[in-house]
Amino acid sequence: MTNNINNFESMMTRLRTIADTMENDDVTLAESLKLFEEGMDLGKECRGILSSVEVRVNEIKEQAKRVGIDPTTTNIPSSNPQIRPNVNSNNNSTTSNPNTTDLPF
């Protein structure tokens, strides 16, 4: 997936270059046609990459929902004590509790 994202970025850069070049009055009709065709091909490839990324995002969201995480928020559900940190009410700091899982964020 990372390689596709890198390719996507370079294809988008090329599309911007094509658009800038075509806006130049010094480009011949033949060259404009070549650039247009290249741009259309790049656009098709970019749409394909975006579609596969969208599928992957939806898969990740479904996985999150299955474990009780709402992927549209950063809130952790308080009804699941296994992933809720124990907060000391005196100083609001997180304390170590063997019944909780330390989250990486």
What fold does the segment set 2-72 form as a domain?
Helix Hairpins (1.10.287)
Q: Would you list the domain boundaries of the chain?
A: 2-72, 74-105
> In tens digits, what is the pLDDT along the chain, a chain of 105 residues?
667 778 999 999 999 999 999 998 789 999 999 999 999 999 999 999 999 999 999 999 999 888 888 877 766 555 555 555 544 445 444 444 444 444 443
The rounded distance, in Å, linking the Cα atoms of 55 and 22 is 33
Measured distance CA(87)–CA(79) in Å, rounded? 15
User: What pLDDT score was predicted for residue 34?
Assistant: 96
